[in-house]
Chain A
Amino acid sequence: METPFTDTIESADVAKMPAEYQSLLKRVLAIQADCEIGGPHLYVRNILPAAPSKVDALIVARTAAEEADHYRKVARLAGEIGEDVSGLLSRPNRERYVNAFRGTITSWEEFAVFGFLIDRVGRYQLEEFTSCSYAPLERLLPDVINEELGHIDYGHTKTAEFAARGGHTRERVQGVIDAWYPKALDMFGNTNSRRSERYRHWGLKRRTNAQARAEYMREVDPLIRAMGLSVPDPNVGREFV
């Protein structure tokens, strides 16, 4: 059996690592950068002008600024090991790595649920890098995760407000939850992913896709129920199971 890689390396060491490690590290950084800038591409142009209040509009702007900064930090790491991800800044949404980022967000309910469900998956993805083998990536985490927690909390609060209004507003937000919940679960990837196993072998991720997805569901399902909303069937509308 192959011994898992348990060392920690810096950017200067990457060129000395096996090709598989270099390839997986470049891939995970590119996907992370894509997801960071993919969020603002989904919502800024539709949601910023349509915010229900000026405070909400400023929060949208601040959220987008923080996501752009997360992109910047990850792009710098990628660039340091020879992976140019600058093209991701202007990549069309339909070409994003992750399905959840391939459309557009056109309603305030969607923006709220995006923060509540999808930014929460983002936090899980970042937590995968805790104690990872690539030290420069781990050093980014505290500030980035802290800002993501703010986005999640805002999305949670707004989603709960919509649900509490009842009537058509509650029906609309349930519909948005129904649409985004399977996308959120899909973001964790295939249960039997060979690549996921290799990420763990090289110390670039901690959990299997299925473990991370199960933990996410244990966290988010009670929150959905606490809003008086229904948790969608986790097997419906899925791309990856």
Chain B
Amino acid sequence: MNVRALDDHLKEMVLALHAAVNRAIPHINDDPALVDQALRDCAEILDVVLDGNVAEWLGSEGPA
């Protein structure tokens, strides 16, 4: 297992989740479409995280 590559990949997904949440929070009352899109983004990213297909995630990043 390439520990560094997995760490980097997970960090990117976590940052993307936080970005989606932070994008939506200020607009919770004035832009329902933006909030809905952020929630769809979160659900999609979390699906990928929980599927945990590490081999697929790291497949293009070369050997350890």
Given A57-B39, A79-B1: A64 and B7 interface contact (C-beta under 8 Å): no
Check A40 against B1 for contact (C-beta < 8 Å): no
Check A80 against B25 for contact (C-beta < 8 Å): no
Q: Name the A residues within 8 Å of B51 (CB-CB).
A: 90
Mark interface residues in B21-64 (1 if CB within 8 Å of A CB, else 0): 10011001000100110110011001101111110000000000
Check A45 against B35 for contact (C-beta < 8 Å): no
Provide the main secondary structure of the chain B interface.
helix
The CA-CA distance from A72 to B36 in the complex, in Å, is: 27
Q: Name the A residues within 8 Å of B32 (CB-CB).
A: 54
Pick from A40, A54, A75, A87: contact of B50, CB below 8 A. A40
Q: Name the A residues within 8 Å of B46 (CB-CB).
A: 40, 44, 48, 61, 64-65, 68
Check B35 against A61 for contact (C-beta < 8 Å): no
Which residues of B line the A interface, CB within 8 A?
1, 3, 6-7, 10-11, 13-14, 17-18, 20-21, 24-25, 28, 32, 35-36, 38-39, 42-43, 46-47, 49-54
Which residues of A line the B interface, CB within 8 A?
40-41, 44-45, 48-49, 54-55, 57-58, 61-62, 64-65, 68-69, 71-72, 75-76, 79-80, 84, 86-91
